[in-house]
Amino acid sequence: MDGSAESRRTGNTPEESERFSGSSALPVTGQANPSRKRLPVRVRFPDAWCVKLTHGLHLAYCTNVHRGRDWAETLANLERHTLAVRRVVSPNQPYAIGLRLSDAASRELAQPTVLRDFRQWLQRHNCYVFTINGFPFGDFHGTRVKEHVAQPDWTTPERLAYTNRLFDLLAELVPEGVEGSVSTVPVSFKQFKLGARGLATARANLWRCVDHQEQLTRRTGKKLHLGLEPEPFGTVENTTEFLTLFAQLEADRPGDLRLQEHLGINYDTCHFALQYESPVEALNRLKKRGVRISKLHLSNALRVHPTREVRSALRAYDDGVYFHQVIERKADGELVRYADLDEALVTPESDGPQFDREWRIHFHIPLHAPETPLFGTTVEHLRGALDVLKQQPRLCTHLEMETYTWEVLPRELKQARVEDMLVSEYRWTLAELAARGIVPS
């Protein structure tokens, strides 16, 4: 088949077909369990494939992988990167976007003419938005993010106003019949030491956000929900802590069922793997308690035994931009937490091979990244969450791949272009979903 015929069949230019048809520097198997059957290395994207899936599920990648200080930069990267990925993954079908908006970008997009133009842009490119990442408030690339990522937190009017604005925008953007979700910080970070008064203020603001969502739902008919995203050292970082917060929110307004409708959890598979939790147990505990699974973040983390050689190799991951929290599990099951990778690396080494110690490191690596003699991954937790989704297809309708670390990935994990990584992640994810009977609708 010549290049022009290929471009007509796939919706890609000949250059794009060559660029994405196997240029991956990494295999898309990433097997952590050799006994599992290997998935095909290449997954084609025929015209019928899209990112609307059976059971009403929607799949996107999170655009927080791109810079977006303001709306102009956000839109420029949607046009440069997101549309390039769309032309490969879903050339002739509606394409879902997991939008990330900074506070500044959200203020600019909220201007009526700008919002009108973006809605026309989505229609012109056959795209739609079903979720917004509202975790980082300001800059998320090219500067020290670390502790700033949770600021302002839920004790502040700024966080409430920002999140409400995101819901205002989402209510205008999400298509009819599709739910809209916003993910957010897990209240705050533990090192900020909110205390009882601060936590009460944060809960009051979360309830105000629930009130705002309900008003929007009544006015527009759109179902909207907020997902708190637990992460290591967050005020809420695991299942037990989330359920404690949820019970406190219920106690603040007894009998108010709007909480279950409009506030839930953004279950990030990297973050929960770091806690050494079982996805089956964690997700079932949450559902049994009546917690909405607002969104599943499909993400992958490093898993290592801290030998001297491994410690040396890990220095390439200490980028100075993001927090890379480390949670160590000792042979007796004790968990030891380090606020950042550099803190873990300076701890004394033990004698011996150290295979009785495991570190899980909050560094989002590509979903398809293969294991190496030095580095393992937490991909089995991600697969476990997808297994639960297979058994409970109504568990959650929002799936978002979130590997935001492209700019700081070490060379051995980095593909030629960010678009290459994203297409490879779609291939891997769609193959994993298809193996569980979840296919494009």
Q: Which tens digits make up the pLDDT trace of 199-243?
A: 999 999 999 999 999 999 999 999 999 999 999 999 999 999 999
Residue range 139-153: mean pLDDT, rounded:
69
Please tell me the number of Cα atoms within 13 Å of 307 on its side-chain side. 11
**pLDDT value at 124 more than 50:** yes
Q: Bigger pLDDT: 277 or 27?
A: 277
Mean residue pLDDT of the chain comes to 88
pLDDT of residue 172: 98
Q: How far is CA 228 from its chain centroid? A: 12
pLDDT of residue 348: 84
**pLDDT value at 375 more than 80:** yes
**pLDDT value at 136 more than 80:** yes
Lowest mean pLDDT among 99-113, 252-266, 335-349: 335-349
Asked if residue 31 lies in contact with residue 38, where contact means CB atoms within 8 angstroms, the answer is: yes
Lowest mean pLDDT among 56-70, 280-294, 311-325, 344-358: 344-358
Q: What percent of the chain has pLDDT over 90?
A: 76
Q: Which two tokens stand for residue 253?
A: 């307004």
Residue range 300-316: mean pLDDT, rounded:
94
**pLDDT value at 100 more than 70:** yes
**pLDDT value at 87 more than 50:** yes
Q: Is the peptide bond before 152 cis (omega within 30 degrees of 0)?
A: yes
pLDDT of residue 145: 56
pLDDT band at 322 (very low <50, low <70, confident <90, very high): confident
pLDDT of residue 205: 98
Each residue's pLDDT tens digit, 30-47: 333 333 333 433 445 544
SS (H, E, C) the chain: CCHHHHHHHHCCCHHHHHHHCCCCCCCCCCCCCCCCCCCCCCCCCCCCCCCEEHHHEEEEEEHHHCCCCCHHHHHHHHHHHHHHHHHHHCCCCCEEEEEECCHHHHHHHCCHHHHHHHHHHHHHCCEEEEEEECCCCCCCCCCCCHHHHHCCCCCCHHHHHHHHHHHHHHHHHCCCCCCEEEEECCCCEHHHCCHHHHHHHHHHHHHHHHHHHHHHHHHHCCCEEEEECCCCCECCCCHHHHHHHHHHHHHHCCCCCHHHHHEEEEEEHHHHHHCCCCHHHHHHHHHHCCCEEEEEEECEEEEECCCHHHHHHHHHHCCCCCCCCEEEECCCCCEEEECCHHHHHCCCCCCCCCCCCEEEEEEEECCCCCCCCCCEECHHHHHHHHHHHHHCCCCCCEEEECCCCHHHCCHHHCCCCHHHHHHHHHHHHHHHHHCCCCCEC
pLDDT of residue 312: 95
Q: Bigger pLDDT: 382 or 321?
A: 382
pLDDT of residue 151: 79
**pLDDT value at 127 more than 90:** yes
pLDDT of residue 381: 98
Q: What is the pTM of this model?
A: 0.89
Domains of the chain (ranges; CATH) run 45-300+379-434 (3.20.20.150)
Residue 435: which of 20, 135, 40 has the closest Cα? 40
pLDDT of residue 14: 32
Residue range 65-87: mean pLDDT, rounded:
96
**pLDDT value at 93 more than 80:** yes
pLDDT of residue 4: 35
Cβ within 8 Å of residue 336, ≥6 positions away: 327, 328, 330
Asked if residue 58 lies in contact with residue 397, where contact means CB atoms within 8 angstroms, the answer is: yes
Beta bridge partners, 128, equal 96
**pLDDT value at 398 more than 50:** yes
**pLDDT value at 352 more than 80:** no
pLDDT of residue 23: 33
Residue range 144-173: mean pLDDT, rounded:
89
pLDDT band at 144 (very low <50, low <70, confident <90, very high): low
- What's the rounded Cα separation, in Å, for the pair 95 and 89? 8
- What's the rounded Cα separation, in Å, for the pair 45 and 403? 21
Q: Which two tokens stand for residue 308?
A: 């001297």
**pLDDT value at 366 more than 90:** yes
